[in-house]
């Protein structure tokens, strides 16, 4: 397995090391995005995510392939959760493994930034007194 690309109900962060481990990798870098408790000075109760899964997976695969080629990665993981997620729950995880740390650091940043910019995922912020649909993109 060179890459693992998934849209899931639940992200198990304990699996990512095994999924990225490779005998040719001296560096493994992971980013985990989680639900925080405040946005714009308002208390967040939860987030809800929806996506067009087929299109999202296609775009995530494209991003992973670009990173693998550009940084000569051994393995890539990209997973985004859908559904209702409470504070502190992981909602996205990306990771890269490579021979050297600089490549996996740069690739990991590219993976999360590009995912947020291009993958069709929609986020509903659930506050104490209201809900607001926003794009998961910045």
Residue extents of the structural domains in the chain: 3-135
Counted residue by residue, the chain has a size of 138
Flag whether pLDDT at 2 surpasses 50: yes
| Residue listed under structure tokens 């997976």 | 57
Q: What is the pLDDT of residues 18-44, one digit of tens each?
A: 999 999 999 999 999 999 999 988 999
| DSSP-derived pairing of the beta strands 83-86 and 90-98 | unpaired
**Is residue 8 a contact partner of residue 78, using CB atoms and an 8 Å limit?**
no
The superfamily (CATH) of domain 3-135 is Molybdopterin biosynthesis MoaE subunit (3.90.1170.40)
Q: Is the full-model pTM beyond 0.85?
A: yes
How far is residue 50's CA from residue 135's CA, in Å, rounded to a whole number? 10
pLDDT at 9: 97
What does the pLDDT average to over 56-60?
98
Share of the chain above pLDDT 90, in %: 92
Give me Rg for the CA atoms of the chain.
15
């Amino acid at each position: 397995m060179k890459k693992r690309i998934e849209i899931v109900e639940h992200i198990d962060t304990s699996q990512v090391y095994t999924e990225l481990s490779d005998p040719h990798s001296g560096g493994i870098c992971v980013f985990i995005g989680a639900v925080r408790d405040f946005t714009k000075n308002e208390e967040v109760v939860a987030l809800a995510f929806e996506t067009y899964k087929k299109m999202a997976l296609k775009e995530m695969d494209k991003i992973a392939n670009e990173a693998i080629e550009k940084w000569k990665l051994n393995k890539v993981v990209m997973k985004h959760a859908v559904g209702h997620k409470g504070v502190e729950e992981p909602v996205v995880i990306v990771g890269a493994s490579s021979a050297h740390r600089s490549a996996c650091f740069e690739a990991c940043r590219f993976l999360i930034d590009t995912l947020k910019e291009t993958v069709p995922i929609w986020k509903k912020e659930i506050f104490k007194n209201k809900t607001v649909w926003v794009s998961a993109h910045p």
